[in-house]
Structure 1
Amino acid sequence: MAGAGDAVEILPVEEAVARDGVTEIEEGSRDSTDELRHYLSINFASLQGEINALHREITSRDILLRKLEESVTRLSEDIIPLKDYVTAKMQEEVHSDQARNGDQETEEEENNRAQNRCVDVMMSLTEIRENNEEKTQKVRGFYEKIYKASPFTSRMLTFLERNRGVKVIVDCDSSNISNLVRRLVSLDAAKTHGTEFHAFTDFFQCKVYLGGKAEKSKVYESNTGRYVYKIYDPEVSLAQSLAQMVMYLIFNNRGCPYACDDELYEKLYEKIVLETSQKKSSGTSVDQLINDALSMTSYFAREVSLISVVPGMLVKYGSKEGMSKLQEQMPFLMLFFMQHVIPKMGS
């Protein structure tokens, strides 16, 4: 894994520049690089360098090389559409409140039917502790909010609707899962108690545990003083836990968002996690969900947790604001989710 103290490697493109001036690679990518710098204040050169380094490592594998070259092209070309997508989603939010014609109303009715069917299936996969009608409606509201938050989160629930392999267990009377599971082993491989978790994804049992009681705030004492922790929204934690389960079902790699033998996307995701961690370490302000994911002790736990931040933020803030925050704070993670994870959900 690349680290901050690694030696800088002279890449083939740089050697060519020293010999011949401008290379064909630079000529072909200059326009997309200029556009990237215009829309995002992020240095793409380090990511390009990482992918080129990977290119050298796996030269003996022609198929993977072709995938790598295609990925480099897509990454450079698709950053700009990401901004366009956010703008389009904002406009869509505005227009959704305006009067609709007959065809649009029909489409809305079809969407509502699809939502109700999906939510019905998710409710059939859900067990509610000491259930009653009020709790049933509350949990149903969690799924409805996740479905409505974004096309990405609705796709996630639709995937689970089709697979039907997950079981969700909810305690609406508590904000933690201690009444559902007393002791467990965390993603950091630490033995701990259910009181430590608002939600937990048990990959091996295909179960998601959720404390369904919302919390406005929680006060903590530490050596540095007393502070108030974040507001707890059960539907946000549920979206993140379900996202982790989806990663597990799709990629079969302990919850990581890439297959075990996919060196290309493993290296690419590793680079994204590293850059996001460096942004946090540099003092750049990031959302609490990002901070929580990057505060995990092990690298494996950070990998599994960080990808679930994308649906978490879309549910927490809604499509418009959530997309804007993701574009600002984690543009490459958002692009990875759109370009690599979402297509897998539909395949």
Structure 2
Amino acid sequence: MADGKRKTFKRKSEPEDGARDSTDELRNYLSSDFASLRDEIHREITSRDILLRKLEESVTRLSEDIAPVKDYVAAEMEEEDDDASSQSSDSPEGGAPQDGDQETEEERNNRAQNRCVDVMMSLTEIRMNNEEKTQKVRGFYEKIYKASPFTSLMLKFLERNGGVKVLIDCDSSNISNLGGRLVNLDGEKCNGTAFLTFADIFECRVYLGGVSGLFRLYKRGQYVNETFDPEVSLAQSLAQMVMYLTFKNRGCPYACGDEMYEKLYEKIVLETSQKKESVIMDGCVYHAFSMKSSLAREVSLISVVPGMLVKYGSNEGMSKLLEQVPLLTFFFIHHVIPKMRS
């Protein structure tokens, strides 16, 4: 079935002039553009002024050429589906079928999902737990897993690495019952009532208030009410934990000392900040920029990608991401995802 999807994608993407337009070509097109940007940064890495000028020129060109990303993303997501199906069908875990049995793609995917969600549930502590709360929290993980191949990869990463503890209060929209005073990324000590969710990356703990509701958000000169979805916030906090475990750099999506990707990401953050003043963006973006310090904004902004995929689903979420934050999405796909895989 996955092969059928790939064939459908290629037929749909085939240009009228008969030129070859495959996933590999899209990948090569984008990889070469991104590689060119990296090479330019590397050559000028000793001069900050020249570096920033090169970044400006390169990111501008990349922004103009961003349209093919939609096709690239579709191909990447199909490839993730195929990889997940292949791995789950080859694995002896979870009751793999014996010779002669025929397991459908859907059954293989469900088995892989159940195994991953089971592991995440084993890492989760629910305050005053009961069967209803267990099913509710399980639903959070299932929604994150199903949202996109990128978000399921995030859970698989945590499944493989372990060490993360998730604490959830299903009776509150904040985390006041789960811990005392916490220090946020801006360095401020706050009570639990100030947090809907919180990722304590140094303790490898994620806190979540599991009740949906509304919160006030400052957006384009005025305060508006935004819906708080626990599964979206959980996905964003888990993403921050994955960034920390992957790059070991306080939750930033690049390794310590990797000046090339650091400067590139700073440029993307700056462009996104400027763009949000002229283009209406999702509340996840505005919430990231409500942080005071550059560190907090950087850590929060990268988690917007999985957050919006869970919030809107795979197709609509990716469409909104490519429309509102294309360079951030490109950075996540081309830099973060490969690091998570490796």
Structure 2 length as normaliser, TM-score? 0.73
Q: Larger deviation: 329-338 or 82-91?
A: 82-91
Residue segments in structure 2 that go unaligned for 5+ positions in a row:
1-32, 48-54, 80-100
- Give SS of 1:210's match: strand
**Paired position in structure 2 for 1:315:** 310
Q: Does the C-alpha gap of structure 1 residues 219 and 164 become closer, same or farther in structure 2, counting only changes over 3 Å?
A: closer
**Paired position in structure 1 for 2:182:** 184
- Answer yes or no: is 1:326 the counterpart of 2:321: yes
Matches within 5 A, 1:185-264: 185-215=183-213, 217-218=214-215, 228-264=224-260
Q: What per-residue deviation string (whole Å, max 9, x for no partner) do you get for residues 61-113 of structure 1?
A: xxxxxxx9xx99x9689845412145669999xxxxxxxxxx99711111110
Matches within 5 A, 1:76-225: 79-85=66-72, 106-215=104-213, 217-218=214-215
CA distance in 2, matches of 1:105, 1:206: 37
**Paired position in structure 2 for 1:96:** none
Residue segments in structure 1 that go unaligned for 5+ positions in a row:
1-43, 60-67, 93-102
Q: CA deviation at 1:313?
A: 0.1
Q: What per-residue deviation string (whole Å, max 9, x for no partner) do you get for residues 170-212 of structure 1?
A: 0000000000113111111011111111000001110000000
Q: CA deviation at 1:286?
A: 1.0
Letter in 2 for 1:292: H
- Answer yes or no: is 1:57 the counterpart of 2:53: no
Structure 1 length as normaliser, TM-score? 0.72
**Paired position in structure 1 for 2:265:** 269
**Paired position in structure 2 for 1:339:** 334
- Give SS of 1:230's match: strand
Q: CA deviation at 1:55?
A: 2.8
Q: CA deviation at 1:53?
A: 5.8
Q: Aligned pair count?
A: 276
Identity between Structure 1 and Structure 2 (%)? 71
Q: Is the 8 A contact 1:149 1:319 kept in 2?
A: yes
Letter in 1 for 2:255: A
Q: Is the 8 A contact 2:216 2:226 kept in 1?
A: no
Q: What per-residue deviation string (whole Å, max 9, x for no partner) do you get for residues 206-250 of structure 1?
A: 0000000111x35799xx99x652111000000000000000000
- Give SS of 2:321's match: helix
Q: Is the 8 A contact 2:38 2:260 kept in 1?
A: no
- Give SS of 1:339's match: helix
For the aligned residues, what is the CA RMSD? 3.3
CA distance in 2, matches of 1:298, 1:259: 19
Structure with max Cα Rg: 1
CA distance in 2, matches of 1:309, 1:270: 15
Match of 1:304 among 294, 299, 304: 299
CA distance in 1, matches of 2:335, 2:63: 15
